[in-house]
Chains A and B, each alone.
Chain A
Amino acid sequence: MAVLSPTQPTHRRGAAGPRPPRRVGFSQRLGRWDVKVSPYLYISPFFLLFALTGLFPLGYTAFVSVHEWNLLGGQGEFTGLENYAAVLAQPLFWKSLVNTFSIFVFSSIPQVLLAITIAALLDQNLRAATFWRMGVLIPYVVAPVAVSMIFGRLFADDYGLINELLGFVGIDPIGWHTDRIASHVAIASMVNFRWTGYNALIFLAAMQAVPRELYEASVIDGAGRARQFFSITVPQIRATIIFVVITSTIGGLQIFDEVRMYDPKGLGGPDQDWMTTVVYLYDVAWGNQKNLGRASAVALLLFLLIIVIGMINFLITQRIATSGPKGAKTSRRRSRRVLAETVTTQTSGSTAPASGAAASGPPLPPTFPPTTSITDREDRR
């Protein structure tokens, strides 16, 4: 900051040449800094921590991935994209991707559907509502390793509870550790057990923010419960759905603990039938190969994959209920357009109301349009 203080006034003077020189008091200058710098300082801890624990490892991983790199031996020669080529040529990498995707489908989709249903039920007038609402969160409090150990016993092939129960009703035992799909279902059920309640609470919070008048109005219009759910609740919590879908996708593509704990070796069984990509990554880096370079390449490929699937997700969830009524939540692009219109109408001196969409939006504070017009311009540059 010391560096800056001399340049600041020069700037000022240079820009405003003809204006008579004016003494600016230090406290005044301090005040100006406070206004300009403080917001950045307030948010800086997150970004500094993120740079240290997120951005730096990300960049370093990219650096490692283009080198020969043994976990113990350290950096070797620069190899360019050889690690990526080697990883892409490994059948096991592709198998792990298929496993990951399969477990993800078995976990994320039922999880979101189930969570939204539970949330809708919890949103009703229940006796001891807090009890039920906190109840669904209990599985989340249990450590994943503990969950895996309990489910490991349930899903044991020979002496497991589930196969015993199936035996009572005359169904042949399921090879939870021999059948590929069965193992995916078992692992997905651990993930679902842990995360459904958590997601349900997020949905519930969003549902409680839906204006009750909408429901009252729909009742007057003769809508039933189901109609209310699909025409009011779902469209109103769309932003939350997007959030939950994206976080559960990222989580679903990073399944690790459950697989590690599912069998004694934790590497996806003798045929790697349930080895996920993250476990594959772990095995490459810390298993027999100790090849950190290749593991970094896997990590970056997984990163790209998550981004791609996240985008697809986003596009799909965007489509959900676009026809629903717009309330407080308008899309950013739309509000920006509306604001731009408002600005134009204001600068042209007209006080005529803007479009209908703006009228239904939140009332704009007086200073709002000019500020956003700057950001708007900044975006366009």
Chain B
Amino acid sequence: MLNSTRPTRRSRRVVAATAGVATLALALTACGGSDDGGDDTASGDEKITLTVATFNQFGYTDELLASYTEDHPNVTVKQVTAATSEDARNNLTTKLAAGGEGLADIEGIEVDWLPELMQFPDLFEDLADPALDGRWVDWKVQQATTPDGKLIGYGTDIGPEAICYRADLFEKAGLPTDREQVAELLGGEDATWDDYFEAGKEFVAKSDSAWFDGAVPTYQGMVNQLEGAYEDPATGEPKDLKTNQEIKDLYDQVLAASVDGELSAGLEQWGEDWIAGFQNNAWATMLCPPWMTASIEQNAGGVEGWDVADVFPGGGGNWGGSFLTVPSSGPNTAAAKELAAWLTSPEVQTQAYENANTFPSQLDAQASDAVQSSTNDFFNDAPVGPIFSARAQAIEGAPFKGKNYFAIHTAVQNALNRVDLNGDDPEKSWQGALDEYASLGL
């Protein structure tokens, strides 16, 4: 009985297997059939559609993009916008990893993504163009240029930092409230971090509020003024954190001010407590790039007294800013490059500033009337255009950020937060940063 059933069972299995394979093959061919022809080249008058992938607010409206079609009748421009930069980043890295399938013709990126993307310059078109020399502030171009001179992104906006402050809290503590006087109080033209912290001690002695929101954002401003914070700019090799006295000094300085000087509100940026802190007068000043003014306005609705002072400790400082890149995998890279150049032109970026307050990185755009005459009513009608232009001019160069920058930076940030947020011992926490650095295996 056993014998007679065997062949049947085997053949049954074969049939099942074949059926399975056949169905799978069918499914696969069905998948393969959905390719639509997107391979047309950019030459001549052929109709093409270019997609621009952005996130948050780049300030490109549909009307603005449609005006490109008027000059280039064969090109239609479409914008895809991700809700957050984190979404956009995941989308970009995942698709780059998959060989570029599904990427937009122009991908917007944030300056912080550059260290990792610059390791693979071949994934992007070289956008260097002598005709565009002098369009941007020098350091903006330098940020997106690889060691061998390839430019992978055209600059859109930048984040020159000023100091935002609460005039009402200043008044209660007996400090000057006028923005020129505040700039002087914080050290004026050649303000230092010590000046800023000293003014803070004067303030907290007479107020219930803290001076700044947290140690990490303040440290962020300080570390961005070092030329090569964690890595050697010449070689890109990471500096051993243990012997990196520059960083240890900043660490000690910012924690002495935050904890011993009681200047820090001990809040982590973007956390629930930080957001609630705006309504609870938790702190009186913060480092403030143009895009931060939008966040302050959003979270501090109903609070009156915010203002911007044209001053920044330790020279100028840049925080954030974006670029437009052209992934090499795209079918119309030449046309995309042309569009990216147009989108980052001073005229278009001036309009973008009017639309979304993205502070332009283009010199001509910064000097334009639209920027120079702009004010912000939430910040007591502060002339934000001229203030941030002046802050942009104070920036001397872009710090070097190699491929290990953010890994090491995170270790130091964690150490600062352990002290500032959790109340750990600074030395013990620094040891934790050294351990974390060691586990990176650099």
**Chains A and B bind each other:** yes
Taking a contact as CB atoms closer than 8 A, the residue among B5, B20, B410 that contacts A44 in the complex is B20
By beta carbon, the residue of chain B nearest A290 is B116
**Contact assessment for B273 and A160 in the assembled complex, using a CB-CB cutoff below 8 Å:** yes
- Bound Cα distance A289, B119 (Å): 13
- Chain A nearest CB, measured from B442 CB (Å): 11
- Bound Cα distance A156, B266 (Å): 13
Within 8 A of B (CB), among A137-169: 152-153, 156-160
- Chain B nearest CB, measured from A64 CB (Å): 11
- Chain B nearest CB, measured from A219 CB (Å): 52
**Contact assessment for A40 and B20 in the assembled complex, using a CB-CB cutoff below 8 Å:** yes
**Contact assessment for A48 and B27 in the assembled complex, using a CB-CB cutoff below 8 Å:** yes
- Bound Cα distance A44, B19 (Å): 9
By beta carbon, the residue of chain B nearest A14 is B7
- Bound Cα distance A15, B3 (Å): 10
**Contact assessment for A158 and B19 in the assembled complex, using a CB-CB cutoff below 8 Å:** no
Please classify how large the interface on chain B is, using the bins under 10, 10 to 19, 20 to 34, 35 or more: 35 or more
- For residue B12, CB closer than 8 A to chain A, the reply is yes
**Contact assessment for B7 and A48 in the assembled complex, using a CB-CB cutoff below 8 Å:** no
* B-side contacts of A41, CB under 8 Å: 19, 23
In this complex, how many residues of chain A approach chain B with their Cβ under 8 Å: the count is 48
- For residue B117, CB closer than 8 A to chain A, the reply is yes
- For residue A178, CB closer than 8 A to chain B, the reply is yes
Within 8 A of B (CB), among A246-293: 263-265, 269-272, 286, 288-290, 292
Name the residue among A44, A72, A86 with the largest chain B CB count within 10 angstroms: A72
- Chain A nearest CB, measured from B310 CB (Å): 29
**Contact assessment for A74 and B97 in the assembled complex, using a CB-CB cutoff below 8 Å:** yes
Chain A binder among B67-75, B132-140, B301-309, B411-419: B411-419
Given contacts A40-B16, A40-B19, A156-B276, contact A271 B7 (CB under 8 A): no
- Bound Cα distance A264, B414 (Å): 13
Chain B binder among A3-11, A196-204, A316-324, A329-337: A3-11
**Contact assessment for B267 and A158 in the assembled complex, using a CB-CB cutoff below 8 Å:** yes
- For residue A90, CB closer than 8 A to chain B, the reply is yes
**Contact assessment for A271 and B407 in the assembled complex, using a CB-CB cutoff below 8 Å:** no
- For residue A353, CB closer than 8 A to chain B, the reply is no
**Contact assessment for A158 and B97 in the assembled complex, using a CB-CB cutoff below 8 Å:** no
**Contact assessment for A159 and B20 in the assembled complex, using a CB-CB cutoff below 8 Å:** no
Given contacts A158-B277, A289-B407, contact A72 B23 (CB under 8 A): no
- For residue B423, CB closer than 8 A to chain A, the reply is yes
- Chain B nearest CB, measured from A381 CB (Å): 10
- For residue B380, CB closer than 8 A to chain A, the reply is no
- Bound Cα distance A153, B416 (Å): 24
* A-side contacts of B123, CB under 8 Å: 72
Taking a contact as CB atoms closer than 8 A, the residue among B19, B422, B441 that contacts A1 in the complex is B19
- Bound Cα distance A47, B423 (Å): 53
Taking a contact as CB atoms closer than 8 A, the residue among A178, A288, A374 that contacts B410 in the complex is A288
- For residue B18, CB closer than 8 A to chain A, the reply is yes
Taking a contact as CB atoms closer than 8 A, the residue among A3, A178, A377 that contacts B18 in the complex is A3
Taking a contact as CB atoms closer than 8 A, the residue among A4, A7, A47, A153 that contacts B20 in the complex is A47
- Bound Cα distance A88, B117 (Å): 29
- Chain A nearest CB, measured from B26 CB (Å): 10
- For residue A300, CB closer than 8 A to chain B, the reply is no
Taking a contact as CB atoms closer than 8 A, the residue among B116, B273, B415, B418 that contacts A159 in the complex is B273
**Contact assessment for A72 and B14 in the assembled complex, using a CB-CB cutoff below 8 Å:** no
**Contact assessment for B414 and A271 in the assembled complex, using a CB-CB cutoff below 8 Å:** yes
By beta carbon, the residue of chain A nearest B272 is A156
**Contact assessment for B271 and A72 in the assembled complex, using a CB-CB cutoff below 8 Å:** no
**Contact assessment for B20 and A156 in the assembled complex, using a CB-CB cutoff below 8 Å:** no
- Chain B nearest CB, measured from A16 CB (Å): 9
- For residue A26, CB closer than 8 A to chain B, the reply is no
- Chain B nearest CB, measured from A84 CB (Å): 15
Contact flags A10-23 to B (C-beta < 8 A → 1, else 0): 01000100000000
Given contacts A158-B277, A264-B270, A271-B432, contact A72 B11 (CB under 8 A): no
**Contact assessment for B422 and A8 in the assembled complex, using a CB-CB cutoff below 8 Å:** no
- Chain A nearest CB, measured from B166 CB (Å): 18
- Bound Cα distance A158, B16 (Å): 63
- For residue A36, CB closer than 8 A to chain B, the reply is yes
**Contact assessment for A71 and B119 in the assembled complex, using a CB-CB cutoff below 8 Å:** no
- Chain B nearest CB, measured from A174 CB (Å): 13
- For residue B280, CB closer than 8 A to chain A, the reply is yes
- For residue A177, CB closer than 8 A to chain B, the reply is yes
- Chain A nearest CB, measured from B272 CB (Å): 4
- For residue A368, CB closer than 8 A to chain B, the reply is no
By beta carbon, the residue of chain B nearest A90 is B439
**Contact assessment for B93 and A158 in the assembled complex, using a CB-CB cutoff below 8 Å:** no
**9 A-B pairs with least C-beta separation:** A270-B417, A159-B276, A264-B270, A288-B407, A156-B272, A270-B414, A40-B16, A178-B422, A158-B273
Which residue numbers of B lie inside 8 Å of A, CB to CB?
A: 2, 4-5, 7, 11-12, 14-16, 18-20, 22-24, 27, 90, 93, 96-97, 116-117, 119-120, 123, 267-274, 276-277, 280, 282, 404, 406-407, 410, 413-418, 421-423, 432, 435, 439-441
A-B residue pairs in contact (CB < 8 Å), sample of 19: A1-B19, A1-B22, A4-B15, A15-B4, A37-B15, A37-B16, A40-B15, A47-B20, A72-B120, A74-B97, A90-B439, A91-B439, A92-B439, A156-B273, A158-B277, A159-B277, A270-B413, A270-B417, A374-B5
